[in-house]
Structure 1
Amino acid sequence: MALVLLLLLLLLCFVLTLPTNFSLNQEGLSLYQFKLSVQDPHSVLSSWSLHNHPCNWTGIKCDPQKISVHSLNLSNANIAGLFPSSILCRLANLTSIDLSQNSICGTLSSEISLCQNLLHLDLSQNLLTGPLPLNLSQIPNLRYLNLTANNFSGQIPPTFGHFQKLEKLSLKNNLLSGKIPTFLANITTLNALILSINPFLPGPIPPAFGNLTNLETLQLTQCNLIGKLPNSLGKLKKLEKLIMMHNNLNGSIPSFVTKLTRVRWLWLSNNSFSGKLPHGMSNITALRELHVSKNNLTGTVPDELCRLPLESIKLPENDFEGELPQCIANSPNLYELSLFRNRFTGNLPKNLGKFSPLRRVIIGVNEFQGEIPATLCDHGELEELSASRNSFSGEIPATLGTCQSLRVVRLGFNRLYGDVPAGIWGHPHVSVLELQENSFSGSISRTIAGAGKLSELILWNNKFTGTIPDEIGRLRNLVKFNGSNNKLSGSLPNSILNLGQLAWLDLHSNNLSGELPKGIQSLQKLSSLNLAHNELRGQIPDEIGSLSVLNFLDLSYNQLSGKIPTGLQNLKLHELNLSYNQLSGQLPLQLAKDIYSTSFLGNPGLCGDLRSLRYCRDKTSSKHIWLIGAISVFAILFVLTSVMLFLKYRKKNPTKWTLTPFHKLGFNASEILEGLDEDNVIGSGSSGKVYKVELTNGETVAVKRLIRNEVKKEIESGEVENGDEVLQDSAFDAEVETLSKIRHKNIVRLWCCCTSSDCKLLVYEYMPNGSLGDLLHSRNSRAEVLDWPKRYKIVVGVAEALAYLHHDCVPPFIHRDVKSNNILLDVDFVAKLADFGVAKIFEGTKSVSVVAGSLGYIAPEYAYTLRVNEKSDIYSFGIVILELLTGKRPVDHENEGENLVKWACKTLDQKGEDHVLDPNLDYSCFKQEICKVLNIGLRCTDSLPINRPSMATVVKMLQEIKHKFISPESNLN
C-alpha cells in the first residue's frame, strides 16, 4: 500500500509539471489509479503510461472541444477487480462506461450515483454480487443500464421506478427474487425492458406494463410467470420483440397480439397456452419469427401465415394436426421450419425450399408421408434436416447428396428405401447421419472417407449389404457407430482401430466373419461394444481387458473359441454376454458372480464356480502326476534363481527414484514402493493402475502408477504408436503441473510425485468412499447411502471446486473431464475433484486437436467444433447433477444410448418429477429443494453455451438453496 501511495505521489508531481489543462491532468491521474486498482493479465492497459496522452489510451475517448474524457470502453478486456466507482466518478465529463465481459467483482456501491453525467452504463457479464444499488436512479440523465449476467440478488428496489430518462433496462440472468414489481411501469421512457432468467416468485405479468407505450422490446423469459397475458399489453403498439418463453403462462394466446403489427419476434415457447392460434395472424405484417413450441396448442396451422414475411416458424411439441398449408413453400424469407412432435399429416408442401433460403427443417415425430421434396436445398443453405419418425417413402433425393451446407441428417423411422446417395455417405461437413429403421439397401460407400466431421453414424434395422469399407478408419471424429440388424458381411476392418474417439460400436445381428482385430486397446474411449449374432471366430483378444471405460460387452452367438481373457476381470462391466460361442477352459475367478449368471451359457467347454457352468474337475491321471510334480519343482527352482539374480543385479544397479514433495510429508519413497503390490490395486484406467498403500505412520494414500517401459515395449512391437507414450507423459505432466499449484478443500490433494527412468508415481490423499460413479452405478452400488443432504453436499463441493478453477486461479483452468468417476468421496462424503490429466489453462475460447472428456459428459458444441472454454466444464457438471439426482448413467445403454438431458426433459414434460428422481432417494421432505437443484442441472446443460450460468453463479444459487432448507445438524460445511 505504501508503495502504491509513493507511486501516486510521484505521478502527481510529474503530472503537475506538464503543460496541459489541469482538469485533464486530474483525469489522467484518476485513470492511472484505476489501472493500478485492477488486474490486467493480458496487458490491455499497456498504453496507459505517463509518456502517452490519456486521450490516446486504449478504450478512452475524449471530447475534442473540452479535451476531456467522455467515454471508457474496456469490454472483453479480461480485467479483474472491484468496480472503482469512487475513481471513475471523478471524471466530470464521463458519459459512458462499458466494462462488460470482464471479471469485475464485489458489490456495486452507492458511490456510482456520483457519476452524474452518465448516459450509458454497461457492466454485463461480470461477477458483481449483492443487492442492486438503491440510488442508481439519482443519475439524472441515465438512458442505458445493462447489468445482465452477474450475481445480483434480492428484490428490485422501489427506487428503480424513479428513473427519469432511462430507455433500456436489462437485468437478465441474475439472482433477483420477489415478484416482478409493478413500479417498473413508472419508467414510461423505456423502449427495452429485459428481466429474463431470474428466480422471481411466481406471479402474473403486471397489467400496468401496458402503460410502457414506448416499449419496443419486452423480454420476460424464465421469470416464473403464471396466469394469462394481460390484455393491457395490446397497447404496446411499438413492440417489436415479445419474448416470454419458459414460464407457466396459460389460457389461449389472446387476440390482441394480432394488433401488434410491428412485432417481428413473437416467442411464447415452453408455456401452457392452449387452444388455436388466434384468428388474424396475417395482421402482424412485420412478423419474422413465430416460436410457440412446447405448449398445448391445437387445430390446424392457418393459411394466413403464408401472407407474412416469416423467416422462422417454430411450432414443435403441441397438438397441431392436419396438413401443412401448401402456400408455406412460397415464403421467400423462411429459413427455419420447426414442427417437431405434432400430428401433421399428408405430404410436405411441393417446392418447399425452392423459394426459401431454408437452413433448418425439423419435422420429426409427425405423420407426414410421401416423398421428401428434392427442392429443400435449392438455395444451398440447408444445414439440418430432421424428419425422423414419420411415414416418408421413396428414395433420398440426389440433390441432398450435393448439398454442401448440410450438417445434420436425421431420417430414421420412416419407409425410405433404395441406395443412399454417395454424396450423403461422404459429406465433408455432416456430423450426424441417422438412417435407422428404414429399408435402405446397397453397401456403405467408400466415399465415406470424405466424411471427416462425422460423429454419429446410425444405420440399424435396414438392408445394407457388403463389407464395412477400410475407409471407415478415416473418420477420426466418429463417436458412435450403430450398424446392427443389417446384412453386412466380411471381417471388421483393421482400420477401425484408428477411431480414437469411438465410444459406441454396435454391429450385432449381421453376417460378420473373421477374427476380432488385434490392437483393440487403441480404442481407449470405447464404452459399449456389441458384436452379438455374427459369425466371428478366433479368440477374444487379451487386450480387450485394457479398455478401461468399457462397461457393455456382448459377443454372444458367434464362433469364438479359446479361453476367456483374465483381463476382463479388470473391467467394470455393467453388462457382459459371451453366451453361445465355443469358449473353453476355466472361468476367471472375478467373473464367477451372480450378476453374470447368464453371461456364459452355451459354451460346453467352459467350466467355473458359477451355477450355470459345470464344476472344473481335475482329470489328470496318476501316471502324469510325477510329470507335473517335476515341472513344478523345476519352475520353483527357476523362479528362485531368477529372483536371486534380479536381487543381485538390483543391488549392483539400484533404481534411482526422485521424490518431489508438494506438502510436508510423513513418509518416504521406499514406503510407497513397498506398497505397490497387486493385492493393493483398487482401480485401473487409461493412464495407469491405482494402489491403496497403508503407511507406517497410520495414514493411507492412493498411488497412481505409470510405467514407461511397458509402453516402450508395445511401441517396439508395433502394438501402439509413439504418440501413446507422449500422451501418457503429457497426462502425467499436466496432472503434476495443475495439482502442485492449486489448493482447495474440494480438489484432491497431490502429496508428491516419484519418478525413475522407467516409472512415474503420483501420490494422492486416499478417499475411503471411492468415486461417485462407483457409488451410483457399480455392481456393488451403494446409492441408498446417499441421502439428500449428502448429495447436496457433493453437488456444492464440486461446484465450488470448479468455481475455484474458473474464477480464482490465475490463470484459470478448465478441467475438461468432469464426470462422476472423477469425483472422489472421503470418509465424510466430502467431494474431491480428481484426474487433471487433460486440464488446460484457459486463455479465451480456442480450438484443440482432439476431444477430451467422456461419452455423455461432452458438451455438444465441444464434440463438433473443438471449441474449448469454461462452458464445457459447466455442461459436464450439469450432467453430474442429473446423474446424482436421477441415479441414471449419462448414456442409457438399454435405450440406444439416449442422452440423459433429453431423457430428463422428456420425462419431466410427460410424467413429472416423481418419474425423474432416483428411487433410492427419499425426497418426501426435500422435494422442492431437490427440484431447484435439478433445474440448475438443466440450466447447466443448455444446448447453447451462452445460456449456461457461470460456476460462480451456480455456487450462489446453491448457497441460496442451502440457506433456505439445510439445518445446522446436517453438518454440510
Structure 2
Amino acid sequence: MTNIARFSNLLLKITLISVGCFIHTCHGACNAVDRDSLSSFNLSLSSSPPLDWSLTVDCCDWEGIGCDGSSGRVTELSLPSRGLVGNISPSTLNLTSLTQLTLSNNSLSGPLPARFFLSLNQLQVIDLSHNRLIGELNSSDALPAKARIFNISSNNFQGPIQTPFIETGLNLETFDVNSNSFTGIIPSVICSFSPSIKLLDFSNNDFMGLIPQGFGQCTSLLSLRAGFNNLSGSAPRDIYGLLPLEELYLPGNRLTGPIDPSLLNLTNLKSLALFGNELTGPIPEEIGNLFKLEKLELHINHLNGTVPDSLLNCTNLTLLNLRVNLLGGELSSLNFSRFVRLRTVDLGNNFFTGNLPRTLFLCKTLRAVRFATNKLSGEIVPEIASLPFLSFLTLSNNTLTNVTSAIRILSGCKNLKTLTLALNFFNETLPDNERLVGFQNMQVFGLGACNLTGRIPMWISELNMIEVLDLSKNFLTGFIPGWLGDLPNIFYLNLSHNLLTGNFPMDLLKIRLLASKSNSDEVNNINLELPLLVKPNHFSNKLYNQISYFPLTLFLGGNRISGPIPAEIGQLKYVIWLDISRNNFSGEIPATISNLTSLERLDLSGNNLTGEIPASLQNLNFLSTFSVANNDLEGPIPTGGQFGTFLSSSFEGNPRLCGRILKRLCSIDTQPGNTDRSKTENGHNQKKIIILTLVISCAIFTMILLPYLYFSRRKTILKSEIDEKDLEAVSFNSSGVFSEHNKEPSLVVLFSTNESNKMKDITIADILKATDNFNQVNIIGCGGFGLVYKATVSDGSNVAIKKLSGDTGLMELEFKAEVEALSTAQHKNIVTLQGYCFHDGYRLLIYSYMENGSLDYWLHEQPDGPSSLTWPARLKIARGASDGVKYMHETCNPHIIHRDLKSSNILLDRDFEAHVADFGLARLIMPYDTHVSTELVGTLGYIPPEYSQSWMATLRGDVYSFGVVVLELLTGKRPVESVKQRMSRDLVMWVQEMRNDGRVDDIFDPVLRGKGFEDEMAQVLDVAFMCVSRNPLDRPTINEVVEWLKNVGPGRQTT
C-alpha cells in the first residue's frame, strides 16, 4: 500500500470517529433527570471498587449505563457482581425509560421502593437475584406488562405472592423466585396471565398445601421447579398436558400417592426429579414414553413393584437413581444394554433378586454402580471387566458367591477405586494368590462380615494405592503380615473380629500415615462417585448415615493376639481410633500410649492386662471413648483429665480397681501419688491415726458451726469462690439435678469476680424489681433454653439475666453446663457469670451486660451494622474471640469444649471487645476429654462434618465452628445463606468454590473492599480455611490460630 493510500485510509477513520462523536454529542447526551436519579442511586450505595460516575457529565458513558440514542433516556442499568452494598434509592423510580435492570449478585438489602415495578413500567429484564432484599409481592405493586425475565431468586422476600402483582405480567418468559421465604399456595394462576412463560422456579421456599390447578395453561413451559417446599397431595392432572416440558423438579416435599401414568405423557421431559417424597405404588409402565429422559431420580420414596421393561425406551438416560424404595423382581431380566449413555445407576436398598444383569456390562459409559442391600445371588461374571470407566462398585449385603472368581474378575477393572463386597460369599475361603495382578487404582476395599476363612492374602501387598482396607468380621487365621505396614497410602485398617494370632505385629508401627504428621497430612478425602452409606449407631429414626471421611484407624479387636502391648505403640502418634480389645494381651498398659496425641477412641477391654492405668493417659487431648473393662487391672483410676467423665462400664470387670466412679474407695497406700509400696505398716498406721483425728475434729467443728451459719446467713448472699465440686455439693443432688429441698428458693449465689464484688448484696426481690417481674419489654435476646433480660440493679449497674425454661432435663443440663463452665472461667474475652439463683421453678443466671449485643446482630441484623464494622474492628473481634477460646481449651482448669461457637454467642462490650458466651452446651473436659454426645451439639452451618459420624464433640470441632465465624467476619454472609435447612448454600462450601475458581477478592464483604486491607484479609482467610478443613487432623489448634491472628498485617500484636 502506498503512503497516499495509507494516509487516505487514516483520514477516513478519523472522519468516521469524528462523525460518531458528533452524533453522540448531539443526540446521545443523557437526560438530566436520569443523571440526577443515578447520582442519588449511587449516593445510597457503597461499592468496591467505587463506581466512577463523576468523571464525565454524560451519564450514558458511565459504567453499566445504556441510553437511547435519540432521546438520551437511560434504558439500561446493569451492574451485576459489582459489590454494591446498601438500599435501592427511591430515585430509581424516575428512570421511567428503563428496559433492563440487572443488579444481581451484590449485597443490596432492605425493601424495594414503594410501587417500584409500577413506576418502571417499561422494564423487560429484571434480575435482582442473589442479594439480601426483603419485602412482599403484593397488591401495592405489579409486574410491568413488558417484562420478559423476572428473577429475584436468593433473597429474603416473604409472604404470599398475590394475584394483583402477577396478573399484569402478560409477556413473561421467566419467573424465578427460588430460595426466598414465600409462603401460602403456589400461584399457578400466573399461567392464566402469562401463557408464554417458559421457566417457573418456586424451589426452596415455604409454599404449602396442594399444588393447585392452573399450570396447564402455561402451554410453552419448559421447566417447572418447586422442590423443597411443604407441598402435599399429588400433582394436578393439568400439568400432564404441558407437552413442551423438559424439566419437572418436585423433590423434598410431602407428595403422596402413586405416580400418575398421565405424567408420562410429557414426552419431552429430560429431567424428572421426585425424590424425597412419600410416593407409593409401582413405577408406571408408561415411563417408557419419556424417550428423551436423561435423569430419573425417584429415590427415597415408597415405590414398589418392579422396574418396568418400558424404561428401556429411555435410551438417553445418564443417571438412574431408584435407591431406598420397596422395588423388587428379577434384576437380570432388565436389559440395560439400551442405556448407551448411562453413567450412574443406583438401585441400592431395595429387594431385587437374581444375578447381576450381564446386559449392564454393555453400558460402556458406566462410572458408578450401587446394588447394595438387595437379594442378589450368583457370581460376578467376567464381562464386568469390560467397563472401561467403572470407578465405584458396591454390591454389599447380598448373597453373592465364589469370592475367588469375583476377586480375579474384578481385578481386571483397571479404573476401579472403590469396591465394597461385604456381607456376601458366606463361609468361603479368601483367595491367596500371590500372582494376582490388578486393582492398581484401588483406594477403598471392603470385604467384611462374610465369615471368610483363610489368611490375609499376599496380593493385597501389591495395592499401592489402597487407603481403606476392611476385612473385619471373618474367620481369617494366621499372623498379621508385616507387609501391611509397608503399604504407602493406607490409613484405615480394620482386621477386627477374626481369628488372627501371634504377638502385636511390630511392622504395623511403620504405617507412615499413622506415625508422622508430615505423612498424615497427605490423607485426603476420598472422592466417591456415590456416597457410602452405613447404618448409624444411634438415633434409630435415621435410616442411614453418609460417610464423609474415614478417620486414621487401626482396628485389631476381637482376635487371638497375645503377648504384651509393645511400648513402641507410642510411635503411632496420629492414629485416631485404636481398638485392640477382646484379645489375649497381657502385661501392663504402656505409658507410651499417651504419645498418641490424636487419639479419640481407645479400647483395651477384654484382655489380660495387669498393673495400674497410667496416669499419663489423661494427657490424651482428644480422647472421647475409652475402655479397659474386663482385664485384671488394679489400683486407683486416674481422676485427672478425661477420666472424670467416663462411664463406670469403662472400668468394670477389674475387681482390684478402685475410685469414685466405681463407688469403691481406695486404701491409703493405693491413692494416686502413693506408689511406694515398701513403706512400713507403722507409717501407714500413723497416717491413719492423724487423718482420723482431723476428720473427727472437723466433723465436731462443723456440727457446732452449722446452725449459726444457717440462721445468720439465711437471708444474705453467699459470697465465696465455688469450684466445681463445691457447686455440685451445694446445688445438685446425686443425679446431677438441682434439689429444691436443698436450697433456699430466694438465695442468690454470687461468684467472687471483679464485677460481682462491686455489687451490693442482692436478693431475688432485687432481680424481680430490676426486670419488672421479667416484663417482656426488658428482653434483649434469646439464649439456649431461655430468654435474656436486661436488669438495672439498685447501684445503677446493668446485668443480663438468663431465665431458663422448657424441658426440665435439658434445662438442667443447660444450667449445670453454664454454671460449671463459667464458675471456673475468668478471662477478659469470656462473658462473666456473676451469679445464679433459683426462683419459682426457674433457674436464673446473672451475667455482665454487653452494651453492643452480639456479633450476629452487627453482621446480619443491624441495617448499617456491616459498614460500621470496619476491618480493624473485625480483626480485633476475631483476635479477642480466639483468645477466649484458647483460654477455654488450654488454660482454664478444667478445660472446656464450648460445642456451640457461633456469631450470636460472641458478645461485644462498649469497646467492641469480643466475649465468648452461652455455655449451655459446654462440657468440662479435665483437661482434654471430648466424651460428649452430639445430640445437643451445635447450630446449623457451624457443625463440623465429622459430628455426623463420630457422635462426639471435640476441641477440633470448636476450631471448625470458630473458622465459620471468621468466614462470617470476612464475607458478611450467614453460615447458611438462605436460612433453610434443605438445599441451602453453605458458606464453607461457597468459600471453597470461590477459592478454587480464583475469585478470592469476591469472597470478601463488599463493604470491606477497596479500603487497603486486602492483604490482611487474605491472611485471615488462609487461617479460616485451615480451621474449616473437613479432615479434623488438618485443623490447627486454637493456640496456633491465636498466634497467626496476632501476626496478621503490618501492625502485629505484641504480647
* Both proteins in one fold, TM over 0.5: yes
Deviation at 1:164, TM superposition (A): 0.9
Query: Would you say the 8 A contact 1:466–1:487 is kept in 2?
Result: no
One-letter amino acid of the counterpart of residue 413, structure 1:
L
Change (3 A) 1:318 1:606: closer
For residues 351-396 of structure 1, the C-alpha deviation after alignment (integer angstroms, 9 at most, x for no partner) is 4243341233232221122334555575644453333322233445
**In 2, distance between residues paired with 1:769 and 1:562?**
45
Change (3 A) 1:598 1:179: closer
Q: Does 1:321 align with 2:328?
A: yes
Change (3 A) 1:237 1:592: closer
Give 1:717-732 correspondences, 5 Å limit. Answer: none
Aligned counterpart, 1:437: 449
Aligned counterpart, 2:898: 822
Deviation at 1:145, TM superposition (A): 0.8
- Paired residue secondary structure (2:145): coil
Q: Does 1:354 align with 2:380?
A: no
Aligned counterpart, 1:81: 86
Give 1:831-846 correspondences, 5 Å limit. Answer: none
**In 2, distance between residues paired with 1:189 and 1:341?**
42
Change (3 A) 1:485 1:365: same
**In 1, distance between residues paired with 2:328 and 2:604?**
45
Change (3 A) 1:153 1:350: same
Aligned counterpart, 1:461: 473
Aligned counterpart, 1:298: 304
Change (3 A) 1:143 1:516: farther
- Paired residue secondary structure (2:208): coil
Structure 1: give runs of 5+ residues left out of the alignment.
1-16, 632-674, 683-691, 701-743, 750-759, 771-783, 788-795, 840-853, 859-871, 884-888, 894-934, 949-973
Change (3 A) 1:30 1:362: farther
Aligned counterpart, 1:764: 830
**In 2, distance between residues paired with 1:855 and 1:62?**
66
Change (3 A) 1:372 1:33: farther
Give 1:749-828 correspondences, 5 Å limit. Answer: 763-766=829-832, 808=866, 821-823=897-899
- Paired residue secondary structure (1:415): coil
**In 1, distance between residues paired with 2:451 and 2:987?**
32
Change (3 A) 1:191 1:786: farther
Q: Does 1:485 align with 2:497?
A: yes
One-letter amino acid of the counterpart of residue 425, structure 2:
R
Query: Would you say the 8 A contact 1:874–1:941 is kept in 2?
Result: no
Deviation at 1:566, TM superposition (A): 2.2
- Paired residue secondary structure (1:156): coil
One-letter amino acid of the counterpart of residue 449, structure 2:
E
Aligned counterpart, 1:105: 109
* Equivalent of residue 565 in structure 1, options 614, 633, 638: 614
Aligned counterpart, 2:526: none
**In 2, distance between residues paired with 1:399 and 1:24?**
77
Q: Does 1:39 align with 2:43?
A: no
Aligned counterpart, 2:604: 555
Query: Would you say the 8 A contact 2:30–2:60 is kept in 1?
Result: no
Scaled by the length of structure 2, what TM-score is found?
Answer: 0.57
* Equivalent of residue 214 in structure 2, options 203, 208, 211: 208
Q: Does 1:336 align with 2:344?
A: yes
One-letter amino acid of the counterpart of residue 365, structure 1:
T
**In 1, distance between residues paired with 2:39 and 2:412?**
59
Deviation at 1:346, TM superposition (A): 1.0
Change (3 A) 1:803 1:413: farther
One-letter amino acid of the counterpart of residue 756, structure 2:
G
- Paired residue secondary structure (2:365): coil
- Paired residue secondary structure (2:200): strand
Query: Would you say the 8 A contact 2:28–2:69 is kept in 1?
Result: no
Give 1:691-730 correspondences, 5 Å limit. Answer: 694-695=752-753, 698=756
For residues 164-219 of structure 1, the C-alpha deviation after alignment (integer angstroms, 9 at most, x for no partner) is 101111111211112223422322121111112221232x2222221221111111
- Paired residue secondary structure (2:252): coil
Change (3 A) 1:216 1:565: same
- Paired residue secondary structure (1:532): coil
Query: Would you say the 8 A contact 2:248–2:271 is kept in 1?
Result: yes
Change (3 A) 1:280 1:597: closer
Structure 2: give runs of 5+ residues left out of the alignment.
1-23, 524-550, 671-675, 688-720, 729-749, 759-799, 803-816, 819-825, 845-852, 890-895, 909-914, 916-929, 953-978, 993-1055
Give 1:518-917 correspondences, 5 Å limit. Answer: 526=576, 528-536=577-585, 539-542=588-591, 552-568=601-617, 576-581=626-631, 583-589=633-639, 596-601=647-652, 603=654, 606=657, 616=667, 618=669, 624=680, 694-695=752-753, 698=756, 763-766=829-832, 808=866, 821-823=897-899, 874-877=940-943, 891-892=950-951
One-letter amino acid of the counterpart of residue 831, structure 2:
E
**In 2, distance between residues paired with 1:240 and 1:385?**
31
Change (3 A) 1:564 1:104: same
**In 1, distance between residues paired with 2:390 and 2:931?**
28
Q: Does 1:224 align with 2:240?
A: no
- Count of residue pairs the alignment pairs up: 715
Query: Would you say the 8 A contact 1:876–1:941 is kept in 2?
Result: no
**In 2, distance between residues paired with 1:418 and 1:363?**
24
**In 2, distance between residues paired with 1:598 and 1:856?**
16
Change (3 A) 1:547 1:219: same
Deviation at 1:490, TM superposition (A): 0.7
Change (3 A) 1:216 1:537: same
Deviation at 1:329, TM superposition (A): 3.0
Query: Would you say the 8 A contact 1:254–1:278 is kept in 2?
Result: yes
Change (3 A) 1:512 1:481: same
For residues 384-440 of structure 1, the C-alpha deviation after alignment (integer angstroms, 9 at most, x for no partner) is 333332223344556765767656544332228546999987648x5x554432356
Deviation at 1:141, TM superposition (A): 0.9
Aligned counterpart, 1:150: 155
**In 1, distance between residues paired with 2:342 and 2:116?**
46
One-letter amino acid of the counterpart of residue 466, structure 1:
I
Change (3 A) 1:157 1:399: farther
Query: Would you say the 8 A contact 1:768–1:825 is kept in 2?
Result: no
Deviation at 1:471, TM superposition (A): 5.5
**In 2, distance between residues paired with 1:943 and 1:100?**
18
Query: Would you say the 8 A contact 2:635–2:666 is kept in 1?
Result: no
Bigger relative contact order (CA 8 A; separation at least 6):
2
Aligned counterpart, 1:515: 565
- Paired residue secondary structure (1:698): helix
- Paired residue secondary structure (1:201): strand
Give 1:87-98 correspondences, 5 Å limit. Answer: 87-88=91-92, 90-91=94-95, 94-98=98-102
One-letter amino acid of the counterpart of residue 438, structure 1:
C
**In 2, distance between residues paired with 1:58 and 1:234?**
46
- Paired residue secondary structure (1:280): helix
Deviation at 1:314, TM superposition (A): 1.8
Deviation at 1:92, TM superposition (A): 5.7
- Paired residue secondary structure (1:258): helix
Give 1:156-195 correspondences, 5 Å limit. Answer: 156-159=161-164, 160-186=166-192, 187-195=194-202
Aligned counterpart, 1:724: none
Which structure has the bigger radius of gyration? 2
- Percentage identity across aligned positions? 26
- Paired residue secondary structure (2:830): strand
Deviation at 1:449, TM superposition (A): 5.4
Aligned counterpart, 1:364: 372
Deviation at 1:340, TM superposition (A): 2.1
Give 1:122-141 correspondences, 5 Å limit. Answer: 122-132=127-137, 134=139, 137-141=142-146
Aligned counterpart, 1:50: 55
For residues 818-860 of structure 1, the C-alpha deviation after alignment (integer angstroms, 9 at most, x for no partner) is 999424699xxx95599xxxx9xxxxxxxxxxxxxx99999xx
Change (3 A) 1:313 1:805: farther
**In 1, distance between residues paired with 2:230 and 2:679?**
85
Deviation at 1:877, TM superposition (A): 4.3
Scaled by the length of structure 1, what TM-score is found?
Answer: 0.61
Query: Would you say the 8 A contact 2:30–2:58 is kept in 1?
Result: no
One-letter amino acid of the counterpart of residue 412, structure 1:
A
Give 1:258-297 correspondences, 5 Å limit. Answer: 258-297=264-303
Deviation at 1:241, TM superposition (A): 1.0
